[in-house]
Structure 1
Amino acid sequence: MARDFYEVLGVSRTASEKEIKAAYRKLARKYHPDVNPGDKAAEARFKEINQAYEVLSDPEKRKKYDRWGDQWELADQFEAAGARPGGGNPFARGGSPFGREDGAGDPFSDFGSIFETLFRRERGGPRGMGGSRRGQDVETPVEISLEEAFHGTTRTLNLQTPDVCRTCGGTGEIAGALCHACEGMGTTMRVRRLEVRIPPGVKTGSRVRIAGEGRPGIGNGAPGDLYLLVTVLPHARFERKGDDLVTEVDVPVVDAVLGGEVMVQTIDGRVALRIPELTQNGRQFRLSGKGMPVLGQAGRRGDLYVKVRVLLPDHLTAEERRHWEALRELRGAAARR
């Protein structure tokens, strides 16, 4: 049985969206494959964390999970068939999905008819019950660096997708009895590797759509879509503001006073910045077109804002001290005039 998603993220069942997101980001950084290369246990934990966050970060999915537990993906079918949970997952936790909590009579009297309805809907069964229905969309979180957001990048995802049960051939039963391999659903989960492209210019909160890579449709229904929920990790040098970037550059005090030129590191190279004389500490310069790409608009970029940090010397030679003292006397005399 799968672990409880709240337990996976280490949050309570009453946790807020903000608390769930914070717990996810903390765990995702800790167990990310890039941080734990070759560690299969960390990779499995990372997948488990993503699966839990995919459900608990979506209010509608979370509501279904709170009601039906690890059978939440079948919530629509259960409810359409007339099942009512006896608290959480009716099958995993022993509750009665048929509203018979007092134990009176035969609690399984409707078992066959309800599951017959479910099977027919899943398989597009006889007499047109259920018909065709589009597959569910799937969301999965992806963390990328600022450089990857600038250039665009690819990710190889391991997705759990339903596949026809090889034991029963998708019928959900064997010789009239429930197939235990797929628990009567006619499908089992398999891991599928998918390489996806993330375009340049994405931001934290961007949703990248991969058409047709969601859950398969029911009957002849089209498959759903896969959505990548992007988080761009903080950068040591640049702060991002929309499509613009902000950075700092150290300017020696003599260049700040007399003017000069400094090299500025941009997201994709180095450029020279002319510093006019008497530049004050904290002054900001704009380098047009040196920011992030604008998503979906080829060739367009934001700007880079460069904030000056006047750099004082950490020591003086005897000769330098004499010159500074002479300058002080000179400026003091000018001020007294």
Structure 2
Amino acid sequence: MKDPYETLGVSRTATDKEISDAFKKLARKFHPDLHPGDKEAEAKFKEVSAANDLLKDKEKRRRFDAGEIDASGAERPAQHFYRDFADGPAHGAHAAQDGFASNEELEEFLARAFGGAGGRRTGGFRARGQDVSYVLPVGFLEAVNGATRTITLPEGRTLQVTIPEGAEDRQMLRLKGQGMPGFGGGPAGDAYVELHVEPHRFFRRKDNNIHVDIPVTLKEAVLGARIEVPTIGG
């Protein structure tokens, strides 16, 4: 399902009244009674109704904003923020995730499983490293204009993340070979970085367009005027 905020055409900071007003406007526009036999209008009505049902429920809205549930209300799998691991141990990440006390214990198990009963023999066993995933909050203008960010990994290593121009909320970036190291000379896994675009105070994005509300005086509106309008480039 689409993002409920986009479906209703409101910002993530919209008030309950703004959400309700937006839903009523769209519901009147796409109500099946006004479009008998129009399957597209019927589907649109169901879509805006589902979006309204999620956002009018304060707890569901909180959980959606926190990334705990998706637009359909289903639970999202737990994700790790890179900051969550900033103070974690530098070693043993593979082993801990697989139920072993240390990487040495995990290697011993693999040696016995694939290298015979002779103890710590690798027997030529090679394994690709595990993929890791992170969530990176980015500013609205960073996502629109593109930027480079540095994140610090659990073991103290840093990664340069290039945010492409026009990046979207929840967009996933793949950093090849930047995951956990492999075993026995195997290749490293990949790192996946999910971008969470923070709302801007003035600008709103709708598809590939940028919207901004500009106040004008009554005189300017009646007689016309030239006014300064901010843009994403300044």
Q: TM-score range by the shorter chain?
A: 0.5 to 0.7
**How big is the shift at 1:237?**
0.4
Verify: 1:128 aligned to 2:123, yes or no: yes
Tell me the alpha carbon deviations over residues 245-301 of structure 1, each in whole angstroms, 9 at most, x when there is no partner.
2111112212222222222111113xxxxxxxxxxxxxxxxxxxxxxxxxxxxxxxx
What is the rounded CA distance, in whole Å, between the counterparts of 2:136 and 2:180 in structure 1?
19
What SS does the aligned partner of 2:228 have? strand
Q: Write the mapping of 1:1-337 to structure 2, written as runs, cut at 5 A.
A: 19=63, 22=66, 47-48=83-84, 73-74=97-98, 116-119=108-111, 126=121, 128=123, 131-160=125-154, 190-269=155-234
Tell me the alpha carbon deviations over residues 282-329 of structure 1, each in whole angstroms, 9 at most, x when there is no partner.
xxxxxxxxxxxxxxxxxxxxxxxxxxxxxxxxxxxxxxxxxxxxxxxx
Higher helix share: 2
**How big is the shift at 1:120?**
5.0
**How big is the shift at 1:145?**
0.8
What SS does the aligned partner of 2:185 have? coil
The answer to whether the 8 A contact 1:134-1:224 is kept is: yes
What SS does the aligned partner of 1:265 have? coil
Cα RMSD for the two superposed structures: 3.9
**How big is the shift at 1:220?**
2.8
The answer to whether the 8 A contact 2:82-2:135 is kept is: no
What SS does the aligned partner of 1:191 have? coil
User: 1:134 corresponds to which letter in structure 2?
Assistant: R
The answer to whether the 8 A contact 2:111-2:123 is kept is: no
User: Are the structure 2 counterparts of residues 157 and 46 from structure 1 closer, same or farther at C-alpha, using a change threshold of 3 Å?
Assistant: closer
The answer to whether the 8 A contact 1:149-1:199 is kept is: yes
What SS does the aligned partner of 1:248 have? coil
Structure with bigger gyration radius: 1
The answer to whether the 8 A contact 2:122-2:184 is kept is: no
- Greater RCO between the two (CA within 8 Å, min separation 6)? 2
What SS does the aligned partner of 1:156 have? strand
What is the rounded CA distance, in whole Å, between the counterparts of 2:187 and 2:180 in structure 1?
9
User: 1:73 corresponds to which letter in structure 2?
Assistant: Q
**How big is the shift at 1:117?**
2.4
**How big is the shift at 1:233?**
0.6
User: Are the structure 2 counterparts of residues 225 and 73 from structure 1 closer, same or farther at C-alpha, using a change threshold of 3 Å?
Assistant: same
What is the rounded CA distance, in whole Å, between the counterparts of 2:178 and 2:132 in structure 1?
8
User: 1:237 corresponds to which letter in structure 2?
Assistant: F
**Gapped regions of structure 1 (runs ≥ 5):** 1-15, 25-44, 53-69, 79-90, 92-112, 161-189, 270-337
What is the rounded CA distance, in whole Å, between the counterparts of 1:192 and 1:147 in structure 2?
27
What SS does the aligned partner of 2:66 have? helix
**How big is the shift at 1:143?**
0.9
**How big is the shift at 1:128?**
2.9
What SS does the aligned partner of 1:223 have? coil
Higher strand share: 1
**How big is the shift at 1:123?**
9.7
TM-score for the superposition, normalised by structure 1: 0.38
User: Are the structure 2 counterparts of residues 123 and 23 from structure 1 closer, same or farther at C-alpha, using a change threshold of 3 Å?
Assistant: farther
What is the rounded CA distance, in whole Å, between the counterparts of 2:114 and 2:65 in structure 1?
33
User: Are the structure 2 counterparts of residues 142 and 51 from structure 1 closer, same or farther at C-alpha, using a change threshold of 3 Å?
Assistant: farther
Aligned length, in residue pairs = 151
User: Are the structure 2 counterparts of residues 122 and 249 from structure 1 closer, same or farther at C-alpha, using a change threshold of 3 Å?
Assistant: farther
The answer to whether the 8 A contact 1:139-1:227 is kept is: yes
What is the rounded CA distance, in whole Å, between the counterparts of 1:224 and 1:114 in structure 2?
17
User: 1:140 corresponds to which letter in structure 2?
Assistant: Y
